[in-house]
């Protein structure tokens, strides 16, 4: 049995199909244009406010450093791709928590997180800065924290108000580097603590060759002897020896040597 469709019906069906296709395409284009306008040109996704917090208060920070951080983040996000560059740094959609590279480039921050409030068009930034523990000096000086990370350039500091290491090794230290192995650095912190507890009045250590894993006190004060420490083992045993020698009189001693574990050697003047 054969079926025949009226030609008029065929033409009608084709017209309906074309109308559906053209209509659907038109609606799609209109919606696409509306979305494009909303994302790129309308204020819907434009940031109204950026607030920065340091984790210690619910009140946003308003300092010049904060403005620098804001500008740096805008540049960072806008440079992520051609799309983010097209949308612009003021578009809330390009801000996110993919900031590993930013933290590598800005070692002064331990952590940083970003939250977006689309209704308020607000970006909240929470950051944690590295705390300055001491200064590490080679040809130039850098601040380092208690984790042993060199994170920021420092001025050339004189006196004994701040913990300082004068490093004469040939190893070049860059911002973001660990200044030494963790086990050695842990002992370095203990040596600083011992000098503080012993009230020697010195906060500067000298490292002539880091490969030897040794540090020394070399004071210009004639009443303080040279003191040699090893970074290879825990220096806790040196506390009692320093206190005993203080009673004897440090001004009578030329040097004290703690480079052998649990042994103290000294030479009188």
The answer to whether 135 and 61 have CB atoms below 8 angstroms apart is: no
* Same-domain check for residues 230 and 145: yes
- What whole-number percentage of the chain has pLDDT above 90? 61
Domain carrying residue 145: 134-268
Instruction: Examine residue 2 and state whether it is found in any structural domain, yes or no.
Output: no
Which residues is 228 bridged to in the sheet? Answer: 216, 257
The CATH number that applies at residue 236 is 3.40.50
Q: How far apart are CA 95 and CA 13, in angstroms?
A: 49
Q: Is residue 237 part of a domain?
A: yes
Same domain, 119 and 153: no
Do 117 and 205 fall into the same domain?
no
Looking at per-residue confidence, does 65 or 107 come out higher? 107
Res. 17 pLDDT band, cuts 50 70 90: low
d(C-alpha 170, C-alpha 211), whole Å: 10
Instruction: Inform me whether the pLDDT recorded for 134 exceeds 90.
Output: yes
Note every long-range contact of 61-67, with CB atoms under 8 Å and residues 24 or more positions apart, other chains counting.
none
Residues 140, 123, single domain; the answer is no
Q: Can you tell me the mean pLDDT for 171-179?
A: 89
Listed residue (258, 218, 215, 260) closest to 240, CA to CA: 258
Q: Are residues 37 and 75 in the same domain?
A: no
Choose the final residue of a domain: 104, 129, 154.
129
Q: Where are the alpha helices (DSSP H) in 206-258?
A: 238-248
Instruction: Report the pLDDT value the prediction gives residue 262, as an integer from 0 to 100.
Output: 94
pLDDT of residue 90: 92
Same domain? 39 vs 54: no
Residue 54 lies in a domain: yes
Give the separation between CA 58 and CA 70, rounded to whole angstroms. 18
Are residues 142 and 197 both part of a single domain?
yes
Q: Is residue 163 part of a domain?
A: yes
Specify the pLDDT at position 121: 92
Alpha helix positions (H), the chain: 7-40, 64-78, 82-87, 100-105, 182-197, 238-248
**pLDDT band (50, 70, 90) for residue 7:** low
Number of structural domains in the chain: 3
Last residue of a domain, one of 73, 96, 129: 129
Is residue 232 a contact partner of residue 245, using CB atoms and an 8 Å limit? no
Do the domain assignments include residue 223? yes
For residue 98, the 8-state DSSP code is -
Q: What is the pLDDT of residue 34?
A: 57
Domain boundary among 129, 159, 192: 129
Amino acid 11: pLDDT: 67
Q: Grade residue 8 by pLDDT with cuts at 50, 70 and 90.
A: low
Contacts 24+ apart (CB under 8 A), 216-221: none
What integer pLDDT is reported at residue 123 of this predicted model?
94
- The pLDDT assigned to 48 comes to 92
**Structure-block tokens of residue 72:** 């740096």
Mean pLDDT of 178-205: 94
How far, in Å, CA of 208 to CA of 269, rounded? Answer: 24
The reported pLDDT for the residue numbered 27 is: 64
pLDDT at 39: 58
175 assigned to some structural domain: yes
Examine residue 4 and state whether it is found in any structural domain, yes or no. Answer: no
The number of C-alpha atoms within 13 Å of 8 and in the hemisphere containing its C-beta is 0
118 and 23 within one domain: no
- pLDDT, mean of residues 34-63: 77
pLDDT beyond 80 at 31? no
- Tell whether 86 and 110 lie within a shared domain: yes
Q: Are 175 and 107 in contact (CB under 8 A)?
A: yes
Task: Judge whether 58 lies within some domain.
Answer: yes
- Looking at the predicted structure, is the pLDDT value of residue 38 above 80? no
As a dihedral over the C-alpha atoms of residue 265, residue 266, residue 267, residue 269, rounded to 10 degrees, the angle is: 180
Do 158 and 247 lie in one domain? The reply is yes
Beta-bridge partner residues of 50: 123
Same domain, 117 and 232: no
C-alpha to C-alpha distance for 124 and 202, rounded to whole angstroms: 43
pLDDT 10s digits, 72-130: 999 999 999 888 888 889 999 999 999 999 998 999 999 899 999 999 999 999 999 89
Residues 38 and 50 in one domain: no
């Amino acid at each position: 049995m054969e079926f025949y469709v009226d030609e008029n019906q065929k033409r009608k069906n084709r017209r309906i199909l074309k109308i559906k296709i053209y209509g659907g395409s038109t609606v799609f284009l209109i919606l696409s244009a509306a979305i494009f306008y909303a994302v790129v040109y309308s204020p819907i996704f434009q940031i109204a406010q950026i607030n920065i917090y340091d984790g210690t208060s619910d009140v946003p920070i308003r300092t010049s450093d904060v403005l620098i951080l804001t500008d740096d983040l805008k540049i960072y996000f806008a440079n992520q791709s051609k799309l983010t560059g097209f949308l612009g740094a003021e578009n809330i959609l390009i801000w996110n928590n993919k900031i590993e590279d930013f933290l590598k480039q800005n070692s002064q921050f331990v952590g940083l997180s970003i939250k977006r409030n689309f209704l308020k068009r607000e970006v909240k930034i929470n950051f944690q800065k590295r705390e300055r523990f001491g200064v590490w000096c080679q040809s130039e000086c850098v601040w380092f924290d208690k984790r042993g990370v060199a994170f920021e350039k420092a001025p050339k500091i004189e006196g004994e108000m701040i913990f300082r290491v004068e490093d004469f090794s040939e190893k070049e230290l860059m911002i973001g580097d660990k200044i030494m192995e963790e086990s050695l650095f842990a002992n370095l912190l203990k040596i600083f603590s011992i000098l503080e507890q012993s009230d020697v009045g010195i906060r500067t250590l000298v490292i002539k060759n880091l490969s030897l894993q040794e540090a020394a006190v070399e004071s210009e004060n004639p009443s303080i002897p040279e003191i040699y420490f090893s970074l290879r083992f825990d220096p806790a045993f040196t506390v009692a020896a320093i206190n005993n020698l203080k009673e004897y009189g440090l001004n009578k001693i030329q040097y004290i040597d703690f480079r052998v574990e649990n042994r103290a050697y000294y030479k009188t003047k």
